[in-house]
Amino acid sequence: MIPNINFTPGPSQLYFTIEDHARQAFKDGIPSLSHRSKAFEKISAEATEGLRELLNIPSGHQFYFTGSANEIWERIIQNLVENQSFHFVNGSFSKRFFEIAAQLNKHPKKIEVENGKGFDEHIQIPPDTELIAITHNETSTGVSMPLETIYGFGKKNPDALLVVDAVSSLPFPDFDYSKLDSVFFSVQKGFGLPAGLGVWIVNDKCITKAEKILTKGISIGSYHTIPVLQAHALKNQTPETPNVLGIYLLAKVVQDMIRRGIQTIRKETEYKAALLYQTLDQHPIISAAIKDKSYQSKTVIVADCGEHTDRITKFLIEKGMQPGDGYGPAKKTQLRFANFPTHSKEQYELLVDSLNAVRS
């Protein structure tokens, strides 16, 4: 039996309207809609213009659809880095981004700190850095980088592109997109959609950089280069046959979120995060894995449960809640709790009540 409430950080619980939207999609023939039709272009525009409105993204930024955020890591390195990117590494996903740059035969550099730690805002970035890769929210450990720290690295390195992996944080963070050159996410986390779609946001500087690398005769890929994606995005199309149903569901969920109000979503996220962190602070046998409050993620909250991990997991499942396992080496000692827009205040209240009922 599958617990009713799913706190794993991704694929996470579906946004509560998804099943209805999927039913309507089948009724309207969306799953077999041609991606070269006017109807598809309208859906695609609804998704991207909806995201622009919801997240307050400037009109100059473009949206591209990919198969996954993994793909976007690769496309960013291919399209935006000739030689050298610089990566902030403090967990499995930020490390993977760095490794991908090396696999593509670039020469990435990094500052690496222990899992669970944040970064000093005074870190010096090497002068030849073409692109700064920051993972806003390290899904593996629950560490978030404060927005002002991100903007600071951009300000001090104006010649580098500033790229933010917001896979497990959007739509929560209120980014100032005018200070970011590229941001990306996948839909199966904060947006609560079935997996199989990544969204890549880029500004003009990214388009120019990709064209510049291509002019030098360096391959930047084939069907998913920025110039090809851009040519299709201008028509609200994609180069390949995309996940049409996924784009439709994204459009619908974004409209639902606009109606609910992004401020409401953000306030509720803050409230639920405060509730859980407070519970962890006061708990006799479990505690927040991230001690420094300035780095605590609001959207992926990680609890140190030590030897009690297995028992707490079973207890929560009995109560109808599925916690996320700790990631990698922390699988047996930590639990992760997604705090996404689909997780209601009532679900979080049930979660903290249940955690409070766990005693040694």
Return residues touching its own copies (CB under 8 A). Answer: 2, 6, 8, 10-14, 18-19, 22-23, 26, 28-29, 31-35, 66-71, 73-74, 77, 99-100, 103-105, 186, 188, 193-197, 217-219, 221-225, 239-246
Identify whether the C-beta of residue 322 lies closer than 8 Å to the C-beta of residue 11: no
Continuous H helices in 283-359: 309-318, 345-357
In the complex with its own copies, the residue whose CB is nearer, 33 or 123, is 33
Shortest distance, position 309 Cβ to its own copies, whole Å: 17
State the number of CA atoms in the 13 A half-sphere of 134 facing the CB.
29
Q: Could you tell me the strand order of the sheet in which 85-89 lies?
A: 62-66, 198-202, 182-186, 161-165, 131-135, 85-89, 109-112
Residue 72: phi, psi to the nearest 5?
-65, -40
Shortest distance, position 186 Cβ to its own copies, whole Å: 7
Shortest distance, position 39 Cβ to its own copies, whole Å: 9
Shortest distance, position 306 Cβ to its own copies, whole Å: 22
Shortest distance, position 34 Cβ to its own copies, whole Å: 6
Structure tokens at 135: 């993972």
In the complex with its own copies, the residue whose CB is nearer, 220 or 288, is 220
Those residues with Cβ within 8 angstroms of residue 44's Cβ, 6 or more apart along the chain or in another chain: 65, 236, 237, 238, 247, 251
In the complex with its own copies, the residue whose CB is nearer, 152 or 221, is 221
Shortest distance, position 206 Cβ to its own copies, whole Å: 19
Eight-class DSSP state of 126: P
Shortest distance, position 252 Cβ to its own copies, whole Å: 14
**Segments of 161-274 assigned E as strands:** 161-165, 182-186, 198-202
In the complex with its own copies, the residue whose CB is nearer, 74 or 268, is 74
What span, in angstroms and rounded, lies between the C-alpha atoms of 37 and 267?
A: 39
Place of tokens 């089948």: 26
| Cα angle for residues 75, 78, 79 (degrees, 5° grid) | 80
In the complex with its own copies, the residue whose CB is nearer, 214 or 262, is 214
